[in-house]
Chains A and B, each alone.
Chain A
Amino acid sequence: MTANFTSFGPFHVDWISWAPTVGDGIIKTLEFTAVSFAGAIMAGLLLALMRESPVVPVRWLARIYTEVFKNLPLITVIFLVYFGLASMGLKLSVFEAGCVSLIVFYAAYLSEVFRGGLASIAAGQREAAHALGLTEREVLARVVVPQAVRVVMPATTTMLVDMLKSTSLLITIAAAELMTVGQLIASTTFQAMEVYLVIGVIYFVMCYPLSMASLWLERKLKAGTPLSPVRRRLIGEIRLALPAAAAGGQS
């Protein structure tokens, strides 16, 4: 560690020639994140719906799954999927193993988020919509889903950021993502401090805008700001139709 301090200083590493390697690492990280997140969302939604199933064993299956994966370290899951399955004769590629690990792990968390989101839409909301004569599809499309999305949005984006950072654990199976690339550069240049700082900054630059965008979206949704153009136009027309006193008045 002290040895690293002596070599600490701006840019002792030739980053220009490393740039393509770093670029590949960034792309790999984003690939892992994108594929795994899409998969985890689908699996999480499926699990959340299973938790609501009228069939008791289905409910229990989802429940057990969720509890198991919520209480295992991600790295254990990665080793089980990559080394464990291989020892049983099922050899997955690094990319497959990485994605499968992230999906099965994050699906458990996301299913809890989604379950909470669906449960948070009070039964009264559906009933009121039904009582107005909306069809089942309209009830879902106009009342349940828009509200559930608002509820799960913040926790879901937090999970996305968390997953992006967790891809770094795939270094343990040499997944060629950003952290693995960092280790390669560090071991070649012996500039661990500088290399890992730069790698850290890159992770931050990828994650921070996501976190900020999520907060921004959350604020907008909370304030009732219409995000779709259709809704914006409707609200604009309502404002125009209001009696002058009401339109300009308190709000």
Chain B
Amino acid sequence: MNATRAAAEQVAASSASPDGHEVVIRAEHLVKRFGGNRVLDGIDLVIRRGEVVSLMGSSGGGKTTLLRCVNLLEEPTEGVVEVDGEVVSKDGHSLHRARRVQLRQRVGMVFQSFNLFQHLTAAENVALPLLRVARADRDEAVARSVELLARVGLADKALELPARLSGGQQQRVAIARALALRPVALLFDEPTSALDPESSQEVLKVMRELSTQGMTMLIATHEVGFALDVSDRIVFMDRGRIVHAGPPREVVFGSASERAREFFAGFVRQGSQAG
């Protein structure tokens, strides 16, 4: 009896942190090689339910690849990736077909270039995964699509094609689409990098709301202000490694890493001038 309980606790411990928040995403010694190039060079990272974590660092540092290894758009070369308690990749062996498809339903992704399906209206973009993946009936898919578009403030654009929407609007539709299957976590790959400042603010506002609603989010971003404001942690990456991870203010203003200090120097200077 006791042994069983101990075993159960051990299992629970592997997916729960000391403060009881479940681990949603875990990477352990994650390596991704493209040819001879180690784009991810031993990443250890744990994201708990409800956490908002910003991945920062110069382009080419591995942020995007890390996100893509979580939903297996890239195959990790070594190490472990765990999502929602399930090992999705271990030592270069990743989930196959059906289970990979299931994994992707549990993790939503938002891309830098929106990637809305150009031949479908905004509402159909959101409805597609509901109809084709979740096999929802039409009434349910329609109701949920409209509700999600309303949530990102775009109910009035439901029947527009993506080409007729601004970048900010397209990205908000993309967020609604990523939310359609009620994922346990959302991955954002530089969601505002292709947007003008005003559109960026629209999108960041939606992301801020999601964070207050308790959505678990892993965000590759260059928006230092947003990362400071919204994230629980900033993870600073350089050349495939995590250089510094910690509370946002600590990483931005007081990192021991020279690379991080260089990276945030512009922002810190600007901030002190403005203040």
| A129–B155 CB distance below 8 A | no
Complex contact B160–A235 (CB within 8 A) = no
Among A64-72, A78-86, A142-150, A183-191, the one that faces the other chain is A142-150
A128-B115, A242-B146 are known contacts. Are A234 and B161 too (CB-CB below 8 A)? no
- Complex contacts, A131 vs chain B, CB 8 Å: 71, 73, 104, 108-109, 111, 178
Stretch at the interface among A39-47, A133-141, A156-164: A133-141
Decide if B119 touches A147 in the complex (CB within 8 Å). Answer: yes
Stretch at the interface among A8-16, A89-97, A243-251: A243-251
A133:B102 contact, CB within 8 angstroms: yes
**Is the contact region of chain B dominated by helix, strand, or loop, or is it mixed?**
helix
With beta carbons under 8 angstroms apart, the residue of A122, A132, A135, A245 that contacts B156 is A245
Q: Does B82 contact A (CB under 8 A)?
A: no
A239 contacts across to B, CB distance below 8 A: 159
Binds A, one of B131-139, B206-214, B218-226: B131-139
Cβ of B77 under 8 Å from chain A: no
Q: Which residues of B contact A124 (CB under 8 A)?
A: 111, 113, 115
Residue among A224, A235, A238, A241 facing the most chain B CB atoms (10 A cut-off): A238
Known contacts A130-B104, A134-B133; is A246 also within 8 Å of B156 by CB?
Answer: yes
Q: Does B129 contact A (CB under 8 A)?
A: yes
Interface residues of A in 37-63 (CB under 8 A from B): none
**B102/A224 in contact, CB under 8 A:** no
Give the contacting residue for A146; candidates B73, B119, B156; CB below 8 A: B119
Q: Bound state CA distance, A234 and B136, in angstroms?
A: 13
What is the CA–CA distance of A250 and B178 in the complex, to the nearest angstrom? 25
Residues of A with C-beta under 8 A to B150: 243
Q: A131-B73, A132-B104 are in contact. Are A238 and B133 (CB under 8 A)?
A: no
**A134 and B101 form a contact (CB under 8 A):** yes
A24 in the interface (beta carbon within 8 A): no
Decide: A237 near B121, CB < 8 A? Known: A125-B115, A133-B181: no
Q: Are B115 and A238 in contact (CB under 8 A)?
A: no
Interface status of B270 (Cβ within 8 A of chain A): no
**Are B155's CB and A243's CB within 8 A?**
yes
- CB 8 Å contact bits of B228-245 with A (1 = contact, 0 = none): 000000000000000000
Report the nearest A residue to B146, measured CB to CB: A241
Please tell me if B16 contacts chain A, counting CB pairs below 8 Å.
no
Q: Are B129 and A134 closer than 8 Å at their CB atoms?
A: yes
Question: Please, what's the 1-or-0 string for A215-246, where 1 marks a CB less than 8 Å from any CB in chain B?
Answer: 00000010010000001011101110111011
Are B117 and A128 in contact (CB-based, < 8 A)? yes
Q: Are B155 and A246 in contact (CB under 8 A)?
A: yes
A251 to B160, Cβ gap below 8 A? yes
With an 8 A cutoff between CB atoms, is B32 at the interface?
A: no
Report the nearest B residue to A248, measured CB to CB.
B156
Q: Select from chain B the residue with minimum beta-carbon distance to A126.
A: B115
Contact present for A251 and B159 (CB under 8 Å): yes
Q: How far is the CB of A51 from chain B (nearest CB, A)?
A: 23
Which residues of chain B (129-171) have a CB below 8 Å from chain A? 129, 132-133, 138-139, 142-143, 145-146, 150, 155-161
Q: Does B47 contact A (CB under 8 A)?
A: no
Report chain B residues within 8 Å CB of A249.
Answer: 156
Once A147-B119, A234-B138, A249-B156 are accepted as A-B contacts, the answer to whether A133 and B101 lie under 8 Å apart by CB is yes
- Given A132-B181, A146-B119, 13 more A-B residue pairs with CB atoms under 8 Å apart are A127-B73, A128-B109, A130-B73, A131-B108, A131-B109, A133-B103, A142-B128, A235-B123, A235-B159, A237-B139, A238-B145, A246-B156, A251-B159
6 contacts between A and B (CB under 8 A): A122-B115, A129-B117, A131-B71, A133-B103, A134-B129, A238-B159
9 shortest interchain CB distances as A-B pairs: A128-B115, A133-B105, A133-B104, A246-B156, A124-B115, A131-B109, A246-B155, A132-B129, A224-B161
Residues of B within 8 A of A (CB): 71, 73, 97, 101-105, 108-109, 111, 113, 115-119, 121, 123-124, 127-129, 132-133, 138-139, 142-143, 145-146, 150, 155-161, 174, 177-178, 180-181
A interface residues, Cβ below 8 angstroms from B? 122, 124-125, 127-135, 138, 142-143, 146-147, 150, 221, 224, 231, 233-235, 237-239, 241-243, 245-246, 249-251
